[in-house]
Amino acid sequence: MSTRRQVVLAGAAMLLAGPALARAPRIATPAQVAGPFAPVDWSGDVDWDLVHIEGRARDAYGQVCHVVGRVLDIAGEPVAGARLSIWQADALGRYHHPRERRADPDPYFRGFGRTLSGADGAYRFRTVTPVPYQGRTAHIHFQVAAPGHRPLTTQMYLAGNPQNRRDGLFMGLDDARRGLLEAPIRPAGDIEADAVRADFDLVLAPTV
């Protein structure tokens, strides 16, 4: 089932049965490899905003993308205080990483970010819309850690991106799990001019 259809069905179910269903049991977000570009140095101005770096003359190149969602457990309850880390290529597909040999990355883009989920499990990152590079479809790497839950490393994809279907890592998942990693993306001029918004919830499995 597509993510869009899941969202529509979830919305319809909430209208029929009230908000209680919003906390229905959920499938844990599938794990994906961290890949070769996981950040090695998290020091400096690292926070939820990857687009603006303190003291730099301008913001990052590329389209601003607000990635928003919640961290939940498999009962659908919010997970507060989860530590979320993301990293991704810049607007031209280059990572801020010592292994990046293609070209220097955008000096105005942070390349990675960290934040904590709030009391309601909500989180937000301000970043740029990911682009494809070297055989990979557009994606954002995620790591999530919270006491009592299994640490999660995964990747977020853009729903409806035709290049997803040619991506080995994405296609390595079955249909249902692919849908869990696809974030619907839409214009978000209400948040910021010319920006888009990607909605991506993460569901953590309990520790065993």
For Fe ion, which stretch binds (CB under 5 A), given 7-15, 27-35, 142-150, 183-191? Answer: 27-35
Residue with smaller CB distance to Fe ion, 30 or 35: 35
- Rule CB under 5 A: say whether 78 interacts with Fe ion: no
CB of 163 to Fe ion, least distance (A): 13
For Fe ion, which stretch binds (CB under 5 A), given 10-18, 32-40, 124-132, 170-178? Answer: 32-40
CB of 141 to Fe ion, least distance (A): 6
> Rounded to whole angstroms, how far apart are CA atoms 54 and 59?
10
CB of 105 to Fe ion, least distance (A): 13
Sign of CA dihedral 156, 162, 168, 171: positive
Q: What residues from 168 to 187 belong to the interface with Fe ion (CB under 5 A)?
A: none
Q: What residues from 39 to 58 belong to the interface with Fe ion (CB under 5 A)?
A: none
Is residue 36 packed enough to be buried (19+ CB in 10 Å), middle (13-18) or exposed (0-12)?
Answer: exposed
Measure the CA angle with vertex 185, ends 183 and 187; round to 5°. 160
Residue 84: enclosing H or E segment and its boundaries? strand 83-87
> Rounded to whole angstroms, how far apart are CA atoms 26 and 24?
6
Residue from the set 2, 7, 26, 35 that interacts with Fe ion by CB under 5 A? 35
CB of 118 to Fe ion, least distance (A): 27
CB of 66 to Fe ion, least distance (A): 20
For Fe ion, which stretch binds (CB under 5 A), given 30-38, 98-106, 168-176, 182-190? Answer: 30-38
Looking at the DSSP bridge assignments, the partners of residue 66 are 126, 197
Q: Residues binding Fe ion: what is the number (CB under 5 A)?
A: 1
Helices (H), 33-174: 168-171
Integer CA distances (angstroms), 41 to 75, 87, 154, 166, in order: 34, 12, 19, 32
Q: Which residue is nearest to Fe ion (CB)?
A: 35
Residues that bind Fe ion (CB under 5 A): 35
